[in-house]
Amino acid sequence: MTSAPKLSDQLCFAAYSFTHALNRAYRPLLEPLGLTYPQYLVMLVLWEADGQTVKEIGERLKLDSGTLTPLLKRLETIGYLTRRRGRQDERQVIIHLTDEGRALSEKAAEVPVALGCAMGAEWGEIAELREHLLTLRDRLADAGCAVGEPED
């Protein structure tokens, strides 16, 4: 007879509770920037490469346009970015940082440092964990079928 699964043994709960704690830790770091955590992620993508389409940003963040559009509208309202229709394809919306949005990156540079301090972790340890999580995420995405689904 097998024993019932325990919450404390579940990877899903460890990931969920870690993510919840991580979001709580980010909140006071992002508040002075006027950003929520999802808005911060959008800004990170744009700081890497300005002038991306909504589709490109969504692909990077693994978000659909229904989730992403309200984030972009809010960031535009607070003055960090602009949204413009593409010249060659009017269906595309191109996102550009404003001067204020670009300048915010300097203040945001302290966020990862402060987060590492809050976790009591060295940069190498954090980088190693990030890479391992990304590898596991990609393996799950490439698995092709969910556990427990019948195979053809």
Domains: count for the chain = 2
33 and 90 in a single domain? The answer is: yes
Question: In this structure, how many other beta carbons lie within 10 angstroms of the beta carbon of residue 8?
Answer: 7
Cα separation, 99 vs 86, in Å, equals: 20
Same domain, 136 and 69: no
Q: Has residue 114 been placed in a domain?
A: yes
Domain extent for 121? 109-141
Instruction: Look up the CATH number of the domain holding residue 39.
Output: 1.10.10.10
Q: Do 72 and 137 lie in a common domain? A: no
Backbone phi, then psi, for 126, in 5-degree steps? -65, -45
Whether residue 69 sits in one domain with residue 44: yes
Has residue 93 been placed in a domain? yes
pLDDT at 144: 66
Query: Are residues 135 and 95 both part of a single domain?
Result: no
Residues 71 and 119 in one domain: no
Inside any domain, residue 13: no
* Residue 32 near residue 20, CB atoms below 8 Å: no
- pLDDT tens across the length of the chain (152 residues): 678 999 999 999 999 999 999 999 999 999 999 999 999 999 999 999 999 999 999 999 999 989 999 999 999 999 999 998 877 777 888 999 999 999 999 999 999 999 999 999 888 999 999 999 999 988 988 886 554 454 44
| This prediction's pTM | 0.84
**What pLDDT does residue 95 have?**
96
CA separation for the pair 102, 151 (Å, rounded): 50
CA distance 130 to 47: 20
Same domain, 64 and 126: no
**124/58 same-domain check:** no
Is 75 found in the same domain as 88? yes
pLDDT of 146 reads: 53
Q: Are 25 and 98 within one domain? A: yes
